[in-house]
Amino acid sequence: MVATPKTILITGASSGIGAATAIAAAECGYDVGIGYHSDREGAEITAKRVRALGQTAVILQADISDPDDVENMFEHFDEELGELGVLVNNAGIVDEPARVENISHARLRRMFDINTIGPFLCAKQAAIRMSYQFGGAGGVIVNVSSMAASLGSAGRYVDYAASKGALDVLTKGLGDEMAANHVRVVGVRPGIIDTEIHAKNGEPDRVRNMSNELPMHRAGSAREVADTIVYLMSDKASYITATSIDVGGGR
């Protein structure tokens, strides 16, 4: 068996779970492609931290809902880091809480463009590069979903939950489709995680307000999710594919 390259491309790696995953992967000897959409400063900070660990970091700007942008991002990765070993589909969006009657078509379209279509486009490019069928060395695709996919987020953002539910189905279907080509596809479903995404969407106190409602009476950290991702992409998880792991503290 050909060894899977120790290279990783992470979308949405300028902050939060994506940035934490970049650091955790670099600690394990991975060179890192840092995908971002608009937060160049955050991407630069992540890159600096990766390089401080002795690994190569390449910053890759893309709108993952745009097929041309996605293709260009992967081609840039190829040129700078060579063969792709791991893709982490982390980029995603949520919006302010809203009931279904107040969710516009534009919001719904944007939610699915970024949370479902974008990861699909990235997974397609990764599968082409990793698949034994096309001369690849195998690899791992990790989709960052959400506990919302199973909980539904009624009265808050069912559009977000639905977009992540579709991502879970992609994990299952693509995992089965790619298994014979030595590409594993796995998902992680974070629960309430203490990152800046809550403040960005108008709920800066959400983590504090919900902590006592959670079984462990605390939110998770980005690093706890990142460590799960790094485990799933490692050889220790070599028989895990086409499934998703909840990182929700029992929620």
**CATH number belonging to domain 7-247:** 3.40.50.720
Output the CA angle 196-200-206, nearest 5 degrees. Answer: 65
What single letter denotes the amino acid at residue 231? Y
Distance CA 84, CA 25 (A): 14
What single letter denotes the amino acid at residue 209? N
pLDDT one-digit tens code per residue, 125-145: 999 999 999 999 999 999 999
Kindly report the average pLDDT of the chain as a whole number: 95
- 34-60 mean pLDDT: 99
Nearest residue to 185 (alpha-carbon basis) of 242, 125, 114, 109: 242
- 10-28 mean pLDDT: 98
160 part of the active site: yes
The count of other CB atoms within 10 Å of the CB of residue 1 is 7
Catalytic option among 30, 160, 231, 239: 160
**Percentage of the chain surpassing pLDDT 70?**
94
Distance CA 151, CA 187 (A): 16
Lowest mean pLDDT among 12-26, 39-53, 197-211: 197-211
**Percentage of the chain surpassing pLDDT 90?**
88
| Predicted TM-score (pTM) of this structure | 0.95
Contact of 175 with 241, CB cutoff 8 Å = yes
Query: For the chain, which residues make up each domain, given as ranges?
Result: 7-247
What single letter denotes the amino acid at residue 178? M
Judged against a pLDDT cut of 50, whether residue 1 lies above it is answered with no
Distance CA 57, CA 142 (A): 19
